[in-house]
A and B are shown apart, each in its own frame.
Chain A
Amino acid sequence: MAQRRSTRAKAVPPPIQLTGLGVQYDLRLSKKRKLRDTVLRDGRHSQSGKFWALRDVDFRVETGESVAVIGPNGAGKSTMLQVLAGILEPSVGKVEVRGKIATLLQLGAGFDPELNARENTLLVGEFLGIPHKEMVRRVPAILEFAGLGEFADAEVRTYSSGMRARLGFSVATSVEPDVLLLDEVLSTGDAAFIEKSRGRITELMKRARAIVFVTHDLDSAAAICTRAIELEGGRIVADGPAKRVIAAYKKKMAKRATTASRPDLAARRGS
């Protein structure tokens, strides 16, 4: 029995596997003050101006798992999502993601303001690498879902930010992914659209082999996901069933909040 399972595992590799992964930023290359500030605050920078956004990450997602990635700001959550999406290449270690990927990071990336909804849909489809014919076939459904009405023929620059996000969401979720990467996009547009987009995401989650969900909304993460990992300072500090990891994380954060509001306690802890 055990043998049979292992041969099966060999035949179908896990959808996501990170091995000894590290992502390093070289701050001498980037003059952005914002990043530097973040770094100076948590002391992950070395003398040379290098900074590890992720370090020694070993992480494997099996078929059927949905993983919530939690942790404080600047812990490396978004970096991890970008690595999984193939946007960032690891500095050390290995990333392997198998199957079609859909990323719901920020919406509306790649739009050309001078083009209309249909043309932009095709443009973003090309950025995503979806075959043209398939994209042409999907256009009506995408426009329908975005609910743009007569604005579908107008240039995107004339759109409200809500309309733009709706179109972005429709395009991004039009692929049927094997691996779904989500970064808190559930709050798009008005109440009616939020309802509709929740439905679409639930549908996609049902069909995907693996889901990675970055969020600060711990309650919905506990409800949606089967497993959670907690990142801190670029490393995985907790990994396990979603409900347990999230409960422990909540407790930790609550404790931290009280320590932070009581400087006398913080001083004692430091000494």
Chain B
Amino acid sequence: MSTHSTELTVGRPRRGTIGTIFESLASLAERRRLVWYLTMSEIRNKGANSVLGNVWWFLDPALQLFVYFLLVSVIFQQAQPAILLFLGSAILPWKWFSAALASATTSVRGREQVMRQIAFPHIVLPASSVFASVANFAFALVPLGALYLLYPDRLTPWALAVLPVAAVQFLWTVPVVIMLSAVAVFFRDVSNFIPHGLRIWFYLSPALFPLEKLQALGDQYPWFGFFVTINPFTWLFSGYRDALYYGRSPQWEVLGILALASIPATLLSVYLFRRVSPLFVKVL
């Protein structure tokens, strides 16, 4: 009898706001191995069942870059030196973000079965989607790096600053994916809307054209100028471009503010996720 545990396993009392957040973060730390397994499984399943398999990790960003190159350089005849590097330094980080959002819409919904059978902290599901999405960017760095073979004079030590900029993007991916994964459980239409919403967001960010163009528009329409200022991707793309394209220091203050602002957003998303997660099993 002494081997039996009488510890309360189901029915721990609900905690306050801070307790809820703390409990979720603690459960993530405790289940880090599960997060790792799910991350690897998501990454692996992407390459599975195709002829080229894992080659797609490199081919996908390379092809996308080529498509935008055709659009901007050949069709619109936009004059921009080292155009491939100019585009790549924005398109490839964006691809990471959009892949993260796409997997967020299914990360909770797609695990319906196991959620009905086993009690586990659901937060591990969006968390693993966030980590799996990083693979997108990590692999895209290979074709991006290869572009320096075309423009060797653009390569400076500042290129390493791409890592802190990517870290800031990562910090923002976390709350967005957590929120979206929960919303997608209740509104399946979200996954229909996301691609369109993303596309609009992309065109309103300085990805295919320099920031100055958007800012000129902003001078004309103040509300648009406001949007440009609060859009995190305005500053992220500028950061990537400073590091990779212009070979100069990114604006650290702006990135620092962006990084700090992600903290309350993350805590809020973790709290809201935990509060709605009891409904998941009932709705799915």
Contacts and interface: CB of A to CB of B under 8 A. Distances in A.
Interface string B219-246: 0000000000000000000000000000
Interface residues of A, number: 42
B116 A109 contact: yes
Given A29-B283, A127-B34, A103 B11 contact: no
Interface stretch (B169-177, B209-217, B274-282): B274-282
A209 B5 CA distance: 10
Interface string A97-117: 111110101100110101100
A174 interface: no
Contacts of B113: 106, 109-110
Contacts of A98: 5-9
A34 B8 CA distance: 34
Given A88-B281, A114-B41, A123-B37, A94 B11 contact: yes
Contacts of B48: 114
Contacts of A30: 282-284
Interface range, B side = 20 to 34
Contacts of B11: 86, 94-97
A88 B33 contact: no
Contacts, number: 105
Nearest to A53: B282
Interface stretch (B101-109, B117-125, B136-144): B117-125
Contact of A87 (B30, B33, B41, B281): B281
B10 interface: yes
Interface string A25-41: 11001100000000000
A122 interface: yes
A109 B118 contact: yes
A127 B41 contact: no
B199 interface: no
A251 B9 CA distance: 38
B121 to A, nearest CB: 9
B4 A209 contact: yes
B117 A126 contact: no
B6 A99 contact: yes
Interface in A26-84: 26, 29-30, 82-84
Given A29-B186, A29-B279, A86 B31 contact: no
- Which residue, of A12, A84, A109, A209, has the highest number of chain B Cβ atoms within 10 A? A109
Contact of A95 (B5, B10, B120): B10
A156 to B, nearest CB: 12
B276 to A, nearest CB: 10
Contacts of A229: none
B74 interface: no
Interface in B1-23: 4-11
B9 A87 contact: no
A163 to B, nearest CB: 18
B282 A88 contact: yes
B37 A97 contact: no
B117 A103 contact: yes
Given A98-B6, A100-B9, A114-B48, A87 B282 contact: no
A77 B215 CA distance: 62
Contacts of A82: 116, 281
A86 to B, nearest CB: 4
A239 interface: no
B119 A85 contact: yes
- Which residue, of A103, A110, A127, A128, has the highest number of chain B Cβ atoms within 10 A? A127
A128 B31 CA distance: 10
Nearest to B3: A176
Contacts of A88: 278, 281-282
B10 A128 contact: no
Contact of A110 (B31, B118, B279, B283): B118
Q: Which 3 A-B pairs have the closest CB atoms?
A: A109-B117, A86-B119, A126-B34
Interface of B: 4-11, 30-31, 33-34, 37, 41, 44-45, 48, 113-120, 186, 278-279, 281-284
